[in-house]
Structure 1
Amino acid sequence: MTRSSGPHERPERLRLADDFWLIAHHDRSGRPRLNPLALGLGLAGALLGELATTGHLTIHDRHVHVTDDTPPADATSHGILEQIATKSRAHPVPVWLKFLAGSATETVTTRLVRAGLVQREQQRRRLGRINVVHRPTDRNQACWRSVRLRHALAGRYGGTPWDDMFLAGLADATGLLPKVLGDDHPAGRAYVARWLPRSDPPALYELAIAVETLVGDAVLGART
């Protein structure tokens, strides 16, 4: 479990989908900063990205392939890998993204709750309705996720790590990047566009592009 952080202590790194969840939610209220579809697709991309960075899967000819069926240490990643490995043939990246997106928010939220990083709260609203939110247990830690991403894209770490570049790519693909970078959004987007295609592993770039395409298709579909 990631330990709590003091006011002058940087939180430890989290898994990609956990990081994206915290970036995509308000650090105080826990409310999402994205619409449900974009959030689900971003988290689905991050979940597949976790398996790509551990060498469990790769993308070839726009299809997802298992390269190592050794069970990952994380139960969530293990479950996703099993689903992919049991298929008799490889499926295109968009198929897996859309499949995982339906439950990705619940899946990652549950993992964060179990890790003690967010807590479930019920808020009573008008007409007796109950609204459920998941609020970060450590606001400093939650806020640091976006701060770290801004610092990484500004080159303050002597070069942006590929996992941060991938998170930035997902943020751009889902429309979240302006909320993370503010007025620096155009420069940050140009930086990501330049370097993300060189990502290691290359599957990270493929995933980010596929998420962007699906989100864009959804937006166009809603307008027609």
Structure 2
Amino acid sequence: MKQGALATGFFLIAYDEPGGRPGLAPDLLACGLVGAQLGDLVTAGALTVDEEDRVVATRRTGDPEPAGRAATLVLDSVAHEARAHPVRAWADVLGEPLLGAVRDELVRQGVLVAETGRSLLGRRRDRLAVADRSAAHGPGLALRDMVRRPGTCTLHGAFTLALVSALGVERLLEPEIDRARVRDLARDAVVHLPAPLARLHSGVAAAAAAASLAVRR
């Protein structure tokens, strides 16, 4: 998965084509999208996660502008805060607006198309349909291929795999890939991630655990 596309890639990995919508609970989807977009900006050098697990803007004047509305939304939100906040706080705040930005970006790119229909009871039903099958299935296929051939692993692929495992949603890669193998490779990947990405991974895992606990209550 290439730089600049981690959030859209994660959305497509989580996308349930028959249902026309993401196949994850909203809180987990929010954690994943925020984690993916933060990871993209960390690898690009625009953000970092410090030793106190706070997200900090590191972009300097004159650096290239982030590509896309999702990246701009996250970077501006972090940069304009008077003090730094942990990953979990950003997952709570940015999940919903980031979902809209990522979804709109995929529609703009022509990967998905928004459709409106009616259920059997006559209720309005909005869904996303695949417009470009190759692009829609590409991120999931690339991640599965990386799991099968770990020697082809890239930094962005390793972080995406670690993100899937942090959320506990290894099932997204089934039936082709066994959950236990995903967990094992994700553990190895985390060990080799740069320190800011490893701290980001921990923050996403904590946010996902808190979201799961809230649901169980």
Which TM class, normalised by the smaller chain length?
0.7 to 0.9
Aligned to 1:59: 49
Tell me the matched-pair count.
Answer: 212
Aligned to 2:154: 161
What do residues 174-203 of structure 1 show as CA deviations (whole Å, max 9, x unaligned)?
232123043521022111112223213x33
Matching residue within 11, 14, 17 for 1:24? 14
Measure how far apart 1:29 and its partner are.
4.6
Give the direction of change, closer, same or farther, for the CA distance of 1:188–1:36 in structure 2 (3 Å limit).
same
Would you say the 8 A contact 1:27–1:139 is kept in 2?
Answer: no
Aligned to 1:206: 199
Would you say the 8 A contact 2:13–2:172 is kept in 1?
Answer: no
What do residues 203-224 of structure 1 show as CA deviations (whole Å, max 9, x unaligned)?
3222222222222222223323
Q: Please state if 1:138 is matched with 2:132.
A: yes
Higher alpha-carbon deviation: 206-215 or 87-96: 206-215
What do residues 42-89 of structure 1 show as CA deviations (whole Å, max 9, x unaligned)?
111111111111100001020111111432233331232122111121
Tell me, in whole angstroms, the C-alpha distance in 2 between the residues paired with 1:75 and 1:223.
34
Tell me, in whole angstroms, the C-alpha distance in 2 between the residues paired with 1:141 and 1:72.
22
**Aligned amino acid, residue 125 of structure 2:** N
**Aligned amino acid, residue 164 of structure 2:** A
1:119-198 matches, cutoff 5 A: 119-155=113-149, 158-182=151-175, 184-198=178-192
In structure 2, the gaps of 5 or more residues are none
Give the direction of change, closer, same or farther, for the CA distance of 1:95–1:26 in structure 2 (3 Å limit).
same
**Aligned amino acid, residue 76 of structure 2:** E
Tell me, in whole angstroms, the C-alpha distance in 2 between the residues paired with 1:59 and 1:38.
21
Q: Provide the TM-score with structure 1 as the length reference.
A: 0.85
**Aligned amino acid, residue 199 of structure 1:** L
Aligned to 1:4: none
Q: Provide the TM-score with structure 2 as the length reference.
A: 0.88
Give the direction of change, closer, same or farther, for the CA distance of 1:188–1:133 in structure 2 (3 Å limit).
same
* CA RMSD after TM alignment: 2.1
**Aligned amino acid, residue 170 of structure 1:** L
In structure 1, the gaps of 5 or more residues are 1-10
Structure 1 SS opposite 2:55: strand
Structure 1 SS opposite 2:15: coil
**Aligned amino acid, residue 145 of structure 2:** H
Measure how far apart 1:148 and its partner are.
1.1
Structure 1 SS opposite 2:121: helix
Structure 2 SS opposite 1:147: helix
Give the direction of change, closer, same or farther, for the CA distance of 1:166–1:59 in structure 2 (3 Å limit).
same
Give the direction of change, closer, same or farther, for the CA distance of 1:177–1:14 in structure 2 (3 Å limit).
farther
Aligned to 2:211: 218
